[in-house]
Amino acid sequence: MSSIELKNIVKKYGDGFPAVNDVSLDIADGEFMILVGPSGCGKSTLLRMVVGLEDITSGDLLINGKRVNDLAPRDRNLSMVFQNYALYPHLTVAENIAFPLRLAKGQHSEQEIQAKVKQAADMLELNEHLERKPANLSGGQRQRVAMGRAIVRDADAFLFDEPLSNLDAKLRGQMRTEIARMQRRLGVTTIYVTHDQTEAMTLGDRVAVLKRGVLQQCASPRELYDQPVNLFVAGFIGSPPMNFLPARVEGNSLKLPFATVPLEGALAEKVKGKDLVIVGLRPEHIKDGSLGGEAGDVRFTANVDQTEWLGNEQYAYIPFEADPAVQDKLEELDRDLDGEGMRTQMIVNLDSRSRVLEGDDAELYFSPSQMHVFDPETGECLT
């Protein structure tokens, strides 16, 4: 059993703003936990505190129920894979993989070391390269050696700090599937830091989203996507990102830039007492009206400024007027998300059958049940 618990963990460098601010997380035995968020949100700091490379300012870190705040890194029995691999250039692949076993002097027989290196090399398809030096390997192979070195020990958990960020896109995809397979096969508790949301969504049993050191939401990838708790999580997860539209409550309806939505049932409850909300609509939930729709869908016409055709899908860009009452909030959100400054245009992800062209007054629709409604003051989702 290897559980990791973080209780109210705080990290301050000097007397500045906390890099990690009161984060609590329970990572279960065998769980694959992702830490994700924009640059500087504190994800590496959090991981480095778990492994013991960084002191914890306050809070408790428990491994298997035991407080380990003051335990040296080597006594925590965790295996870390770094972004830059940190291989020994003068050692061969086999020697690099065997290194942690030899470091634990006298604990493993030579025969045992050879067997473990072979097992790791088999799993990572490194058998043909065992006698090479790191300089003679490709980036992907080096990454595999770094993983081999991590899995060769019977560590309680694997910790990965952006392990794929130095690889090109194709190799990243391949290594991602390998890491997923390896983790499932070994069933070892894993914490994995990334800023890549594809890695976050495909690898994680659960994903913890951080913003400026504060944990925003920790949930399964599907729950994060379907039920983001606030504007930040909603804007961070999903590509192209969720559209945020200012919406005014007027009598029994909600006025969006293009459409009017009747206020009834659960939606009426959500906006009760508000004059203004921000409506989130994912690009794929807005559809081409000439291709379908059901009773209860909201239909509207909008002028398409630009389209992008990607073969299996196409994007349509539709500008709308900013609403001064929510613009500050949306600009702040853009900054938090390392923004793209797209808060006055709506992106629609049309399916490949759609024939909408640039300049068209396109007929579109969405289902009100797909709308996310956010409080414009706090950014929280009004569920």
Minimum distance of ligand ATP from residue 191's CB (angstroms): 13
Question: Which of 4, 6, 33, 43 is the binder for ligand ATP (CB under 6 A)?
Answer: 43
Among 39, 111, 252, 312, binds ligand ATP (CB under 6 A): 39
Q: Give the residue with the Cβ less far from ligand ATP, 42 or 283.
A: 42
Stretch that binds ligand ATP, among 26-34, 37-45, 64-72, 131-139 (CB under 6 A): 37-45
Q: Which residue in the set 13, 84, 107, 138 belongs to the binding site for ligand ATP (CB under 6 A)? A: 13
Say whether residue 40 binds ligand ATP (CB under 6 A): yes
Piece in contact with ligand ATP (CB under 6 A), picked from 33-41, 102-110, 120-128, 373-381: 33-41
Q: Which is nearer to ligand ATP, 45 or 307 (CB)?
A: 45
CB-based contacts of 1: which residues, under 8 Å, 6+ apart?
29, 64
Min dist. Cβ of residue 280 to ligand ATP (A) = 24
Q: Please say whether the beta carbons of 7 and 158 come within 8 A.
A: no
Pick the closer one to ligand ATP by CB: 40 or 319: 40
Which DSSP string do the residues of 84-120 spell out, in sequence order? Answer: T----TTS-HHHHHHHHHHHSTTSS-HHHHHHHHHHH
Q: 40 or 59: whose CB is closer to ligand ATP? A: 40
Q: How far is CA 315 from CA 119, 287, 308, 310, 347, in A?
A: 47, 11, 5, 8, 6
With CB under 6 A as the contact rule, the residue among 6, 19, 318, 348 that binds ligand ATP is 19
Helices (H), the chain: 43-51, 93-103, 110-123, 139-151, 169-186, 197-203, 221-226, 231-236, 265-270, 324-336
Cβ proximity to ligand ATP: between 13 and 88 the closer is: 13
Sheet holding 58-63, edge to edge: 20-27, 4-11, 58-63, 66-67
DSSP string, 269-314: HHTTT-SEEEEEE-GGGSEEGGG---TTPEEEEEE--EEEE-SSEE
Q: Does 309 bind ligand ATP (CB under 6 A)?
A: no
Residue 45 near ligand ATP by CB under 6 A: yes
Binding mask 163-202 for ligand ATP (x = CB under 6 A): --------------------------------x-------
Q: How far is the CB of 42 from ligand ATP (least distance, A)?
A: 4
d(CA 7, CA 5): 6
Tokens of 302: 């909008």
Residue 44 engages ligand ATP in binding (rule: CB under 6 A): yes
Nearest to 80 by CA among 187, 11, 153: 153
Cβ proximity to ligand ATP, 19 vs 150, nearer residue? 19
Distance between CA atoms of residues 290 and 131, nearest Å: 62
Integer Rg of the chain from CA: 25
Interface with ligand ATP by CB under 6 A: which range of 40-48, 184-192, 249-257, 316-324? 40-48
Q: Which residues bind ligand ATP (CB under 6 A)?
A: 13, 19, 37, 39-45, 195
